[in-house]
A = this chain, B = another copy of it.
Amino acid sequence: MMATLQKSAMTREEIVMILFDLFRRGGYDAVSLADISDATGLGKSSLYHHFPGGKPDMAEAVADFARGWMREKMFDPLKSASPLDKRIDAMMKTVSAMYEGGGAPCLIASMMISPTASPKAIATVRAIIADWIAAIGAALRADGAGAADARRRATAAVIAIQGALVVARAAGDEKIFSEALKTAKSSLL
């Protein structure tokens, strides 16, 4: 039995996942500590307990979380032993889920706009794009593609995904996103 009675402690990772969603949807600047307090149910002081550096600290934690998540869920599976088309297909399914079928913004795009976000956080989200292109490119090369062609097609795929996200949300038409994923998949095979 616990010595003291307190509201259920929230783990840092649980908070970070909430922050991830807040930041990608609202952008770093528009999200206030009050918003974060509401979304997490934690008081401001509790937030500073978890993130002594305040919002910049939170942004870095979110960027690190996103990078680790992408590595685990998207980049590492691209290295598996299954056939290339299965791996690309799995990646596109993960992409679709992550962006909620085209309705949810990308953290990378949201964070890159913010001039007040910590340089470390921005550097991390930018690195995710480079990692992503590299991961797809490596899969294509392992399947026999030339280095230059692999890189070119991998870059085009990430461009199509990011662009479709912007255009689908602007047009309010998630079909644009799903169609773009299909086309991108074909171009990779």
- Taking Cβ atoms with an 8 Å cutoff, the residues of A that contact B are 25-27, 29-30, 105-106, 108-110, 112-116, 125-126, 128-130, 133, 152, 155-156, 158-167, 169-172, 176, 179-180, 183
Of B29, B155, B180, which is within 8 A of A159 by CB?
B180
CB pairs A–B below 8 angstroms (21 shown): A26-B113, A26-B114, A27-B29, A27-B30, A27-B113, A30-B113, A30-B116, A106-B166, A109-B109, A109-B166, A112-B166, A112-B169, A125-B170, A128-B170, A133-B167, A155-B176, A156-B180, A156-B183, A158-B163, A159-B160, A162-B167
From residue A166, how far is it (CB to closest CB) to chain B in Å? 4
From residue A70, how far is it (CB to closest CB) to chain B in Å? 13
Of B113, B125, B158, which is within 8 A of A105 by CB?
B113
New contact pairs (7) apart from A26-B113, A112-B169, A126-B170, CB-CB < 8 Å: A26-B114, A126-B171, A126-B172, A129-B166, A130-B170, A158-B163, A163-B163
Contacts of A183 in B (CB 8 A): 156
From residue A97, how far is it (CB to closest CB) to chain B in Å? 19
